[in-house]
Amino acid sequence: MEAYIRRAKAEDLEKIAEILESGRQYLENQGLPQWQDGYGPSRTDAAADIEAGYGYVLLVSGAVAGYASLIPEPDGSPPLSEGAYEGSYDRYVAVHRVAVDGSLRGRGLSRQFLRDMVIAAGALGYQDIRIDTHPGNVIMQKITQQVGFSPQGVMHLPIPDGERLAYQILLD
């Protein structure tokens, strides 16, 4: 199965919206409050990402199968309320809105996609890459750590159930 990433394009937006909704439903089915009640990524967010050049798609056999964004600082995330980020780099980039088509779950694509996002961030000159997820999202925590991110602490988003575990990877 051939899979790679590229920058998202406006014509990808419909499929991206479907993938984000599939991700929201998956989290809801897992009993997680993440991305629920209008507090998750939207079509509007993805359109803004694409316009700014921050959106990426995962292509599997030539079809859009995943979406994520690389948002440079400040990315809107609050500071850590517990813990601290490592390193002293002048800037960082955050991976947000990671979702893969639900029909492709269980094939390791989320891990590959996140790894490719780290490579893309490095190619853009970032050495400090961050990501966060809900404490109950054990699957994303596992994938994040498999890719090489290290837990750094806790942040609290100004939304219901806004506690998030923060991770970071530093590239040499």
**pLDDT for 59-68, tens place per residue?**
999 999 999 9
Classified by CATH at the fold level, domain 3-170 comes out as: Aminopeptidase (3.40.630)
- Decide the pairing of beta strands 163-170 and 128-133: antiparallel
Residue 140, pLDDT score:
97
Query: What's the CA gap between 98 and 125, in Å, rounded?
Result: 21
Domain assignments of the chain as residue spans, ordered by start:
3-170
Q: Two tokens at 113? A: 């996609």
pLDDT exceeds 80 at position 1: no
Q: 17 falls in which pLDDT band (50, 70, 90)?
A: very high
pLDDT class of 26 with cuts at 50, 70, 90: very high
Q: What is the mean pLDDT of residues 118-142?
A: 98
Q: Which amino acid is at 34?
A: Q
The whole-number pLDDT of residue 131 equals 98
C-alpha triplet 94, 99, 101: angle, nearest 5°: 155
CA distance linking residue 8 with residue 39, whole number of Å: 22
Map 9-37 to HEC letters.
Answer: CHHHHHHHHHHHHHHHHHHHHCCCCCCCC
Q: How far apart are CA 160 and CA 12, in angstroms?
A: 30
How confident is the model at residue 110, as a pLDDT? 97
Half-sphere exposure of 156 (CA within 13 A, CB side): 5
Percentage of residues in the chain having pLDDT higher than 90: 94
The residue-averaged pLDDT of 111-135 equals 98
The arithmetic mean of pLDDT across residues 134-160, rounded, is: 97
pLDDT band, very low/low/confident/very high, at 90 (cuts 50, 70, 90): confident
- Identity of the amino acid at 45: D
Q: Report how far apart, in Å, the C-alpha atoms of 79 and of each of 20, 152, 155, 164 are.
A: 26, 11, 6, 11
Give pLDDT, residue 76. 86
Pairing of strands 80-83, 128-133: unpaired
